[in-house]
Homo-oligomer: A and B are copies of this chain.
Amino acid sequence: MKVFSVFGYTGSGKTTTIENIIKELKKRRYSVGSVKEIHYEDFAIDTVGTNTHRHKMAGSELVTARGYYETDILFPEKISMEKLLSFYDQDYVVLEGVTDYNLPKILSAKNIEEIEERIDESVFAISGRISNEIDSYKGIPVINSMDNIDKLVDMIEEKVFDKLPDFDANCCTACGYDCRTLGIKILKGEAKRGDCILSQSKVRLFIDDRKIDMVPFVQKILYNAIHGVVSELEGYKKDAKIKIEIGNEDE
């Protein structure tokens, strides 16, 4: 799953850029999901007096409204990007306004000042109103999503890679870097997505069908714990493929 963010100040043309990107990705036959980050203290999607709001006020910790044509799960907290993205399985997920996560980004800007204030190494393209004035900023292409959506989505296809985990340096540097640094190196062409050790890993864990990333250290504990038990059983072979399921049958 490829995930990227479009960010920038209000009024820079962010949502328009995203609309054009989503339409073009769909035209190219990709499945697409999206997230809108809302920087507005009083935001609440549900309105006072609805039955779901009454559930919440009575103390329900997770409320869903399920209608004929939509199902809205309302978490009463800001959930982490990691957890949120575990609900997605589209080819591309576009995030609007998310900056605190390890991702390739498109900066949307009105003018040069906004670019200078917000740009960082994770930005691979610039869009928004400024694209009426310039074509490039310090080697980064500035692309208008109205006239030139083809070129912008070509860049997305070229640059955006399968989401990396977001471990910090204390947690995993098995590839030689923390995840953020590896991400930037991939964008610059100095590393490959496949350099992430987790994509080479042998132990895969699913909880309720969602894949859980494990740092190599934890993988090894799990590997040893399982082999320790299983190797005593009739039918065991060294290097055999092992699968264990706990809980409901898949079938």
Contact = CB atoms under 8 A, between A and B. Distances in A.
Interface string A151-188: 00000000000000100000110000000000000000
B58 A19 contact: yes
A77 B84 CA distance: 18
A78 B67 contact: yes
B88 A244 contact: no
**Of A38, A83, A244, A250, which is in contact with the most chain B CB atoms at under 10 Å from its CB?**
A244
Given A36-B65, A73-B73, A23 B58 contact: yes
A6 to B, nearest CB: 11
Q: Within the oligomer, what is the number of copies of this chain?
A: 2
Nearest to A45: B72
Contacts of A75: 70-73
Nearest to A204: B245
A241 B246 contact: yes
A231 B73 CA distance: 25
Nearest to A223: B246
Interface in A57-79: 57-79
A90 B65 contact: no
A37 B222 CA distance: 41
B245 A233 contact: no
A59 to B, nearest CB: 4
8 contacts: A18-B55, A22-B58, A34-B64, A43-B67, A83-B235, A205-B242, A212-B236, A239-B247
